[in-house]
Structure 1
């Protein structure tokens, strides 16, 4: 059987990255975080093994949670003197079974006494890590229809124990990822799974009671967590694996590992009970010989690969934010998303950021080359999205050859040839003009060769209708949440420019702003400071520094400036596409002064929802006018928010994706 075979599988070696509470530590009374009005009730069934229970509780005391919770220990008539010791722990609710009820009976008893809206069943041979509880609760807040959320389980020595689990059609179970490396990105993204181990399992209290808790037919233990997951799905809810909740599990401490003796023998006995109860549902489960990597995705969701130059990071640039929001939408629309950067590099934080959206990041050293990965996934892919012409050009033939049935989508991000043409005109640089011509040929060839092309601006869509009239071109602009105005006119001061020096139009804009525009503003109003946000090299910072100029560099959260500044600036003199800095400011209700280029393609009109100035004098005078005119400021703020809702919302992007993607 698969479940038994896993017990003897060769084991990988990994170095643990956490500090464990020692079960051998001498007991001294301590206090757990506790709430009189808990949102979550943590239920820990206990039968002996007091040192491990104490270590578990010390880890909870050490890490706590942002969410109010209570801890309920259900002592199942333990043979040792644990009750007396546990009674000395502050904040702990201690229930004592009059007779031994087994794991299932103890869990159900704890659930009956729980006061929280959610139950978190936790084995006493576990230890928690930061975020253990809060990240599970995230699933119920962020994932529609979440019924169960479960943790990533690891062994104390650093090996992975479980990243969700699979049930095959013969009722065999398989802990996905067992004995592998826990930080492999294929284990770091949220996804639906067949079941979650009861070692760390969260469920809404009302739902648990609706389905009558753990089924007592599996008493004293084993298969009760699998059965619960099937019952939850039968109630129309989802079972979700949450990798950001990391639990260390000393597996086998309570029940042992001998399948022929003790409680562990019920792992075999209860399989037949489970198979009989769920016979009809099991017919649609994967066959026993199905590879785990395929079986874990047997929900048959359509699969898309997205290939871009770099792994997106929302704090880096607006293109990253747009792509992240597109991936979020794809997940909501029922797609399984895999992502690969052209250089196959991704940081742990970037992997986890995408993992929250259910995206599997393919990167070094974990994933193979693009060619090998496509070969292995050719039968699962319904679509491939290639972003930017310099990424799409060298990879299009490979994608067509290895995934001939996949629809190929070219996401221009912006039309590079248009931006480069404008840069050449602005600088009269012949080398840039030559580069623009080369980009034009490459981009037009891709547009004609791909099934669908995405552009961000109606100006670009109109241009391509002339340049490539036979191509299918869809408008999929920037995608923004509407954050709203969180501070009024009088509570704000100063100006802000957002944009890193990795994008040449930003370099020109900042230099123009510092050399020509800001001196005019400062001459009239020396109290108006200028804040620059974005990656700016140290050498450039020295040139830009001056009275009233604050260079913050790249920041993790721009909200303080969106809330605190009175005017956002976009003095771009060339470029293409839609400007994320303008959209972002407007999504926060922050009025914008921009050039015509910066306002292009966004349904913006001078004096209505934006102020426009194309030379230093008009730009500076527009800033000064807006800065002191509260009525104008409020009108631009309100109408800028309306513009985001109408043209750059998730609903507009969702419709564009539906038109571009193959039908589900």
Structure 2
């Protein structure tokens, strides 16, 4: 008797995953691991070039197949592969390849991994720019951190990015969201059906060894991919406002800043005399996090959930952040460190955590409890598989009920198909 065929999954990535460089890639790798545990047959494709730190997917048993934009070779590839599931990594991949997937594999479940709500991040970035133009006060950003959900919607709803992004969500059968806050914005403000969304936060295994003790740690740490605009802005706020306040109270304090793809504008900030060390890329983020006493994440804008803060909790490292950094990360659980709204409060709490062993230990315990209550892979992995299998079993009904998605696919896919075919023909000339 023949064994049943393994479910075939095609992942179309915006980039080849670099889990040691970004939380977004880390989340993709976590999803792939859940699929592998289920015994699914996975192919990963991307039109991007290979990055410096890309993961070796083939070592995990995942096929790697480069693909091209606006090239009918993809049609032959996906027809021969005949996947049961296609996962678009970020909405731009659905825009580019969605019509081809629908045309050549109409019965495949179409999923989207959103990473974060990019239109929300863009709207917050614009508000920060407006605030910086209006005032040179580098301390108090309370106004940025307290918008009502309706206000967030109003900043997003008029943008082309929101229209593109949310239309792609509708065109898919299921979209994975890392943030419950972003699900609420989509459901309550944009009136998107909750049935098209699934909460899938970062998924980790709990640490099996005791964290490095307080006495064996030193210095402050900030970590984040410099290609991600919120991380670069956080470094600037640290340099200009927060770090001088910390050094006033702790003259010998040292800050180590790590990040993939460090640009010259970042290395120019390196100043050992000020204790401000730009260290470039960290080969092992958990190792450098374990050596630090306090993680600093002064994010003035952003979206999604923060991989650097999950890494801090995994290593037992308390953190100081902003409401943007803490958003959607802790529910009703106490925060493992401090959440602040001004540069002065940020510096004060950072110094306290660095010096107060009892408070530091309390924050460490809170971080480990938070991981156990919200981020365990053995909880969210099975929930994701169950949701996907439910969708596979009920796909005709899901698509019938998603009339808005059907309508958007009808109009978008036709126009995208004709444009793509025109570009391909033009490229042959």
- TM exceeding 0.5: yes
- Pair 1:369–1:590, CA change in 2 (3 A): farther
- CA distance 1:656–1:585, change in 2 (3 Å): same
Find the counterpart in structure 1 of residue 382 from structure 2.
Answer: 655
1:566-585 equivalences in 2 (<5 Å): 566-585=293-312
Greater percentage in strand: 1
Deviations 1:5-35 (A, max 9, x none): xxxxxxxxxxxxxxxxxxxxxxxxxxxxxxx
Cα 1:545/1:368, change in 2 over 3 Å = farther
Aligned counterparts of 1:659 and 1:625: Cα–Cα separation in 2:
44
Matches within 5 A, 1:165-176: none
2:199 equivalent to 1:475: yes
SS in 1 for 2:265: helix
| Structure 1 residues not aligned, in runs of 5+ | 1-282, 285-297
Name the one with the larger helix percent. 2
Match 1:516 to one of 219, 228, 241: 241
Secondary structure of 2:88's partner?
A: strand
Question: C-alpha displacement at 1:416, in angstroms?
Answer: 0.5
- Secondary structure of residue in 2 paired with 1:338: strand
TM-score (normalizing by structure 1): 0.52
Aligned partner of residue 390 in structure 1, secondary structure: helix
Please show how residues 331-342 of structure 1 align to structure 2 within 5 Å. Answer: 331-342=36-47
Instruction: Give distance in 2, aligned partners of 1:641 and 1:567.
Output: 15
1:223-622 paired onto structure 2 within 5 Å? 284=2, 300-343=5-48, 345-346=49-50, 350=54, 353-363=56-66, 369-378=73-82, 381-428=83-130, 437-466=159-188, 467-470=190-193, 471-483=195-207, 485-535=210-260, 536-546=262-272, 547-603=274-330, 608-622=335-349
> CA contact under 8 A between 1:566 and 1:627: conserved in structure 2?
yes
**Equivalence for 1:180:** none
Q: Secondary structure at the match of 1:543?
A: coil
Per the TM alignment, residue 408 of structure 1 is displaced from its structure 2 partner at its CA by 0.4
For residues 542-582 of structure 1, give each alpha carbon's deviation from its aligned partner in whole angstroms, at most 9, with x where no partner exists: 13435211211112212332221100011000111101111
CA–CA distance in 1 between the matches of 2:291 and 2:269?
26
Report if aligned partners of 1:604, 1:610 keep a CA contact under 8 Å in 2.
Answer: no
Where do 5+ consecutive residues of structure 2 fail to align?
132-154, 393-429
SS at match of 2:389: coil
- Per chain length, whose mean CA-contact separation is higher, i.e. which structure has more relative contact order (CA < 8 Å, sep 6+)? 2
Task: Decide whether the 8 Å contact of 1:595 with 1:614 is kept in 2.
Answer: yes
**Cα distance in 2 for residues equivalent to 1:524 and 1:459:** 36
Tell me how far 1:314 sits from its aligned partner. Answer: 1.5
Q: Is the 8 A contact 1:530 1:548 kept in 2?
A: yes
Q: Structure 2: how far apart are the matches of 1:572 and 1:531?
A: 17
8 Å CA contact 1:324, 1:354 repeated in 2: no
Partner SS state of residue 16, structure 2: coil
**Partner deviation per Cα, 1:464-503 (whole Å, 9 max, x = no partner):** 2122432511001112233354311111110110112101
Aligned residues between the structures: 361
Counterpart position of 1:637: 364
Map 1:116-135 → 2, pairs under 5 A: none
RMSD (Å), alpha carbons:
2.5
1:587-644 deviations in Å (ceiling 9; x for gaps): 1111111101000001167965231111100000000111111111111111101111
Contact 1:388 1:411 in 2 (8 A): yes
Computing the radius of gyration over CA atoms, which structure comes out larger, 1 or 2?
A: 1
TM superposition shift of 1:461: 1.2
